[in-house]
Structure 1
Amino acid sequence: MKANAKKTLFVMFFVAIFILSGCSKSTTTETISKTEEAPIKEESVSNPVQEQSHIDQSVTTWSYPSADEVVDGATFVISNGTEPSSLNPQQIQGEPEFRIYLALFEGLVQNDPVTAKPIPALAESWDVSEDGTVITFHLRKSTWSDGTAITANDFVWSWQRELDPINAAPYSWFPQMFLKGAADYSAGKIGADELGVKALDNYTLQVNLVGPLPYALEAFAHFTFAVVPKHVIEEYGDSWTQEDNIVSNGPFKLEKHVSQSYISVVKNENYWDADNVHLDKVTYLASDDANTNYNMYIGGDSDWLTSISTEQIDSAQMRNDFQLSSKLANSFYTVNCDAPELENVLVRQAISYAIDRESMVENLIGSGIPSWGLIPEMAGYEPMEFPFDDYDEACEIAQDKLAEAGYPNGIGFPELVLLYNSNEGNKKIAELIQSNLKDVLGINVTLENQEWGTFISNRDAGNFQIARNGWVGDYQDPNTFLDMFVTGGAMNGGNFSNEEFDSLIAQAALMEDSPERMELFHRCEEILVNEEQAVIPFYYLTKSQLIDTSKWGGWYTNATDIHPLKFIYLKK
């Protein structure tokens, strides 16, 4: 694929502006939250952080609608995709669960609905130390849905629980990339008193970071930094999220959960900002059938279709309520670097060159941007260029590399197994790759599909040769696409390991945002994709959805495709 063609695709699709959220210092603070009485400090504790300065929190173009713009009491129905694996913030992984999380729970900060930048949530303000390594959050007075007060100590307990290996939180690696001492605490090497989170009093939380991370504030909107109800968990244990037991602190609370059918949530009157929540009820429909979901939306049975199948994309694009946006996400395959058949990097490279990404996007996906690299374009970071002009040249390179590895025309090379989770789109991509490898390299490929839970378990455990993968950025920084591949990382099922890569990721964590830091990430991507071929990227995602924004306010396309339910309202 020629470089200029690739740039044209980016001009067409990357309309949204990707903005890195940094910890910029400012001498003034503008608040967008409700005016509240200052928290009462129940004990005096000296703050060891020196020379702190308030940061500008007005990183938003959002404003609450006036009363004459809103119809109160509406019900909003979402075609949410697959049945959620859990309602526990410390056990969720996928996007369907995350959309429910945004209704039920809220952390220190939340994502602005327009810019996706961090804005106040349970923290009404915060200070950042001069060196950028300590953030002190000032909490507002708030309660759980049962009226129990939420304090800084609840955050400390929740984060310790997230990191405790006995709870097997699948995303426990994530806070380890931010909190000082988190990795050692999770490994049992240090006690809670050395972990980088402390309650200075009931409404002041001090967080020590591993370095001056420019994306830290945005990351604190992630579900791994949620606060969970200690008093309920201690009473009910693992069953605390069941319908009769659960309490939450978000704009909504659970009403009903009918497995494989729907989840309904209703307005939480104890939410600190309840006056500005205009929906009375949200219903999440659970269905894996793309045609059913599409037809329900067209028939008026849902208000937001969160995903559109390739079969429906052409007709959907003709509608006035079609929403197309860039998305901080990618699609790729992970290679098991320990699999005997794939230990030779020349073999891994040959496989990557043989895959027709342009055909995949144009003929199977219907949207997206073919990619050679893993990291999408964002402010300060240019994506990788393709190392060939067209697919014919790529095929020649693929054949040369396989021959150099000792398998000319695939002679003598064993059959490969390609693992993917059950989904019609995933199946079509797998079949294309199967065909490409046979036609270009003479390699036979067997396809194996598994249901989601089994697939995730096997992929995370490294029980595969080549497996489907994809990543939605957790924050707007290249690090979110790279740090999972450090040696021994919880999400590094392909067992990739490279000392230089690990060292550069650690070095970048200690740097403030700068061109030099971006160069470190470019080098990491070069190692991961070109030199080691531990991953085989296919395309950067664009997001196609259906929602009538002339009817519903508070929903905007944004860089992270995060849409907090508290901001959505029915227009008059």
Structure 2
Amino acid sequence: MKKNIFALVSSIAVLGTALAGCGGGQQATTQPAEQPATTQPAAPSTPAAEAKPQVLKMNLHSEPPTADPGISEDTTSAAIIRATFDGLTRVGADGKPHESAAESYTISDDMLTYTFKIRDAKWSNGDPITAKDFEYAWKRALDPVTASNYAYQLYYVKNGEKANKKEVSLDDVGVKALDDKTLEVKLENPTPFFLELTAFPTYFPVNKKVIDANAKWAGEAKTHVGNGPFKMENWEHKSKLVLVKNDNYWDKDSVKLDRIEFSMVEDENTELSMFENGELDWAGAPMSSLPTDAIPALKDQGKITTQPIAGTYWYKFNTEKAPFNNVKIRKAFAYSIDRKSLIDNILQTGQIPATGAVPPSMVLNPNGYFKDNDVDEAKKLLEEGLKEAGLSKLPAITLSYNTSEGHKKIAEAIQDQWKKHLGVDVKLENKEWKVYLEDMHAGNFQVGRMGWLGDFNDPINFLELYKEKMGGNNDTRWENPKYKELLNQSALEADPEKRKKILADAEQILMDDMPIMPIYFYTNSWVQNPKVKGVVIGGLGDVDWKWAAVE
């Protein structure tokens, strides 16, 4: 799902705003199928003559790296895109996908062909929306020239992977506009969660005419064109972003908010102060995080809302650079962490120690794959790894994270634990989110923080991140032939229990090789103005303001 900027997202980054499992996301302290929101449904609207403009005031914590569905990979971008775009389906407050830009669909008996009927609707600039907009958008995301890190989400479509790897033409991809209102999609294999995928940003349409006219169309409010419940009115970069109701949206009568005004304040204490002063209607997840020092008092006052979500906070190792090209050294660093103490003393909102990659809502091995805080085994592995690497002691290590109070506190605690348990000196390095993502993708790190929020509630969404060495979200540069074989095998296995066993075997390989170091499974925590209703926060950590209202 998504890189989570706090976990990124993410989904959700993923404090990486979930890479749209998006990729994985932003929250460090609280944070990637869907579940109902914890907020209540929107109140009935007042008569037009008495109504005041409904304005929701939020904080994004950091600048969205993009507002283009084809290249989005983090939870901050995905949230803005979900507000300004509409997929064939949209996940509702019941956690299920419903027809949205598509008014209906049919599925063939072999579950390999989906035929969508596109409803009569317009882009925010007034252009008609057609099936060709979806065909173009999907092929654009798969085109290697686009360099979409989420292109692999379209590999479920026939020849999607081959086209992305230049093995076949984009014309061979199994998506075709039969006419302006009919979209035919052919899949590689039966995909039970496909209607969840069509509600994900990578599957959203884009307007070819707008893109042809301006390659940087998604970077400014005046050129941004979407088909969602809101449209972009103003974007003062790194300062402010404003969305307003889109009167061209097909379901505009369901949209109660007139405006959403986003500030971009990175300091969580300042954000909470703004909330307490009435400058914000919401503070914390899923667009930011609460300051850790404030959590006990907020709990005592009964103000905080906490919700478990399908996401994992982990550190990534650069497996191409010494000393983390040695698996025993990687495992030593992972085993020596005291996850429970991080949760009890820093996070404080019910997170679960992670000794596997896949979160509890889709767990493959409930017992995990290693023991938390196993210092004796860590020291033994480190000694063996150093000997294999021809080293007498470890050089200083750099631990990178994106700017956030929560990420900083976690990194400082882990820095102390690695010094105490392994005797290694650790330098901390923080960067602004967009720069941080670019450096992670380029391999400019030794150990780096990231979070992943699920794009859909299936283990493959977490495991497929590390299938290909040069995959869009595999910053570790790790690859294992047996692991790839098992993931391919799982796609062909129709028996759910046999498929689960195959995926568990794959996760075992991932944890045996340890290119990532799982730390904890996310929760989302926030405070909100009680006048705010109808905000849908899904079980994957995503947010949708379509049905929101301010009484």
Separation in structure 2 between the aligned mates of residue 20 and residue 569 of structure 1, nearest angstrom: 21
Q: What corresponds to 1:145 in structure 2?
A: 124
**Aligned counterpart, 1:8:** none
Q: Which residue pairs with 1:94 in the alignment?
A: 74
| Partner residue, 1:130 | 109
Task: Indicate how the Cα distance of structure 1 residues 555 and 343 shifts in structure 2: closer, same or farther if over 3 A, else same.
Answer: same
Runs of 4+ in 1 over 4 A off after TM superposition: 18-21, 61-72, 379-382
**One-letter code of the match for 1:83?**
E
Contact 1:181–1:195 (Cα < 8 Å) also in 2: yes
Change in CA separation of 1:63 and 1:470 when aligned onto 2, cut-off 3 Å: closer
**Can you give the 5+ residue segments of structure 2 that lack an aligned partner in the other structure?**
1-31
Determine if the alignment matches structure 1 residue 519 to structure 2 residue 498: no
CA distance in 2, matches of 1:559, 1:67: 27
SS at match of 1:412: coil
- Partner of 1:82, secondary structure, is coil
* Aligned positions of 1:154-165 closer than 5 A: 154-165=133-144
Name the amino acid aligned to 2:467. Answer: V
Match of 1:103 in 2: 83
Partner of residue 403, structure 2: 422
Per the alignment, residue 329 of structure 1 pairs with 311
Residue in 2 aligned with 1:347? 329
Distance 1:113 1:563 in 2: 10
Q: Answer yes or no: is 1:294 the counterpart of 2:277.
A: no
1:535 matched to 2:513? The reply is: no
1:218-237 alignment, distance < 5 Å? 218-237=196-215
**Deviations for 1:441-500, whole angstroms, at most 9, x for unmatched residues?**
222222222222232122112222221121111111111111010123121111111111
Aligned length: 508
Aligned twin of 1:544: 525
Partner of 1:40: none
Question: Could you say if the C-alpha distance between residues 505 and 434 of structure 1 is closer, same or farther in structure 2, counting changes exceeding 3 Å?
Answer: same
1:21-32 equivalences under 5 Å are: none
Tell me whether 241-250 or 226-235 shows the greater mean CA deviation: 241-250
| Residue 385 (structure 1) aligned to one of 361, 365, 368 | 368
| Equivalent residue, structure 2, for 1:217 | 195
Q: What secondary structure sits across from 1:508 in the alignment?
A: helix
**Per-residue deviation, residues 332-375 of structure 1 (Å, max 9, x unmatched):** 11112222312332221111111111111111222211111111
Task: Give the whole-Å Cα distance in 2 for the aligned partners of 1:544 and 1:240.
Answer: 30
Instruction: Give the share of equivalent positions with the same residue, in percent.
Output: 32
Inter-CA distance 416–563: structure 2 relative to 1 (3 Å threshold): closer
Mapped contact 2:222–2:234 kept (Cα < 8 A): no
Q: Say yes or no: does 1:460 pair with 2:438.
A: no
Which runs of 5 or more structure 1 residues have no equivalent in the other structure?
A: 1-17, 22-60
CA drift of 1:544 comes to 0.4
Conservation of the 8 A alpha-carbon contact between 1:411 and 1:442:
no
Alignment-mate amino acid for residue 470 of structure 1: G
Distance 1:430 1:417 in 2: 11
Structure 2 residue 550 is the aligned partner of structure 1 residue 570: yes
Distance 1:560 1:447 in 2: 29
Secondary structure at 1:398 match in 2: helix
Cα contact 1:486–1:502 (8 A) shared by 2 = yes
In structure 1, what is the equivalent of residue 243 of structure 2? 265
Partner residue in 2 for 1:196: 174
- When structure 1 is superposed on structure 2, of 166-175 and 66-75 the one drifting more is 66-75
2:483 maps to amino acid: F
Deviation string for 1:95-123 (max 9, x for gaps)?
222221122111111111242x2111101
Other structure's SS at 2:260 match: strand
Q: Does 1:474 align with 2:452?
A: no
SS in 1 for 2:306: strand
Q: Aligned in 2, Cα 1:552/1:231: closer, same or farther, shift over 3 Å? A: same
TM-score normalized with structure 1 length:
0.83
Give, as a single letter, the amino acid of the residue that structure 2 aligns with 1:371. Answer: A
Q: Distance in 2 between matches of 1:552 and 1:64?
A: 8
Hey, what's the Cα distance between the residues in 2 that align with 1:240 and 1:223? 14
Shift of 1:20: 7.9
Change beyond 3 A, Cα 1:302–1:170: same
- Partner of 1:280 in structure 2? 258
Question: CA–CA distance in 1 between the matches of 2:381 and 2:513?
Answer: 14
1:287 CA displacement? 1.4
* 1:375 aligned partner: 358
Question: 2:421 and 2:221 mapped to 1: Cα distance?
Answer: 54
- Say whether residues 1:395 and 2:378 are aligned partners: no
Larger CA Rg, structure 1 vs 2: 1
Distance 1:137 1:533, change over 3 A: same
